[in-house]
Amino acid sequence: MGRIVVISTGGTIASRWQGSGFAADADGSEVMATAPLPEGITVEVVDLFSVNSPRLTTAHQLTLLRTVHEVLADPEVDGIVVTHGTDTLEESAFLVDLHHHDPRTVVFTGSQLPMGSAAGDGPGNLYDALLTAAATRGLGVLITFAGRVHAARGTVKTQAVALDAFADPSKELLGKIGFGKVTMLRTPQRPTPLALPSMPELPPRVDMVMHHADGDPVLLNAAVEAGARGIVLVGTGAGNATPEIVDAVRAAVERGVLVALTTRVPAGPVTEIYTHGGAVDLVAAGAVPSGTLRAGQVRIAVLAALLADVEPGERMRVLRDALASGGPVLVEA
């Protein structure tokens, strides 16, 4: 069926007992040895790093992005599987998807149970990812987990420990895997891919601030003073906060900070309904609404806009396009 390159980055799928808890320490060959190969697939392994995904940095993620592009420079490669920790998998997958312009599929997967666990989910997830990478085209970056196929865009970790860990709470399931077959139920829409960014010596700081009852601008202002070039405001409801936070957003935007607005509600779009500090006022102050994307992926979109090779004044447009909320032309993947 094809030649698949597996890029190993660590996570639970590569974790073993360390005396007081589990941590990633297995290399990609050890991870691959746990899983059967779908018929007709050959595998090559790239050991990129082996870390628990909460420890990932922007530098790690940009290295992964560039490695994906380097692997796909070989026309003999039919697809890529990335094994990754589940905590930040949604962020890394979305970063790769924002810059993915190749018809060949990149599939992210991992596990909720560590290596060697009885009835562990890693081998099955890896088998499904290999099958999906070989059997699909033109769908961008995908996430396979627990027999389900998800588009990278919009998919988040919805279960802390349960095996069926990922979903897009705002959209229908993309596809499913069973009996050696991948069945796609719909085609994801994706904005025009961004160009591959450079590797900055010091990546831009992008912070997240959540609103709540009694919330005030202290943390948002502190992020700006700490040098944040981008801020994700996690509002309540459909994307709401207070007049004081609106003022802080306006001041941050006037200083050249990119501000994106999402919500702490699991599903549904950010919507301009309310004033008196609501999304109506926040958007008027310069915050860019995120549609149905949630905080982790919105932060990646802000980061991508800051890293784009454009004039500073163009970064707001890049952010709007990355969030698919400013009227970009969406193309069928």
The tens digit of pLDDT for each residue in 295-325 reads: 999 999 999 999 999 999 999 999 999 997 4
Angle in degrees, CA 170, 308, 289, rounded to 5: 30
For residue 38, give both structure tokens: 């779908």
- Dist. CA 100–CA 107, nearest whole Å: 12
Backbone angles phi, psi at 28, to 5 degrees: -65, -35
Q: What's at 265, amino acid-wise?
A: V
Catalytic residues: 12
SS3 call for 23: strand
* pLDDT tens digits along 26-66: 999 999 999 999 999 999 999 999 999 999 999 999 999 99
| Lowest pLDDT segment from 181-185, 240-244, 309-313, 326-330 | 326-330
At 193-235, the pLDDT tens digits run 999 999 999 999 999 999 999 999 999 999 999 999 999 999 9
Q: What is the predicted pLDDT for the residue at 324?
A: 79
Task: Give the Cα separation of 299 and 262 in Å (integer).
Answer: 10
Strand partners of residue 296: none
- Residue 129: pLDDT above 80? yes
Structure tokens at 249: 């957003």
β pairing state of 156-157 and 166-167: antiparallel
What is the percent of the chain where pLDDT is above 70? 97
Exposed, middle or buried, 118 (CB in 10 Å: 0-12/13-18/19+)? exposed
Looking at residue 130, what DSSP letter applies? H
Distance between CA atoms of 129 and 111, rounded to whole angstroms?
12
User: Taking 70 as the threshold, does the pLDDT of residue 175 lie above it?
Assistant: yes
The predicted-structure confidence for 239-249, as pLDDT tens digits, reads as follows 999 999 999 99
Contact 244, 216 (CB under 8 A): yes
Residues forming a β-bridge with 71: none
Query: What would the two tokens of residue 268 be?
Result: 């549904």
Residue located via tokens 């890896």: 126
Average pLDDT over residues 261-280: 98
Question: Average per-residue pLDDT in the chain?
Answer: 95
3-state SS track over 253-264: HHCCCEEEEEEC
Task: State the pLDDT confidence band at 332, using cuts at 50, 70 and 90.
Answer: very low
Return the structure tokens found at 15. 């974790």
Residue 327 reports pLDDT greater than 80: no
Q: Higher model confidence: residue 329 or residue 148?
A: 148
Determine the average pLDDT of the residues in 65-79: 98
DSSP three-state, residue 150: strand
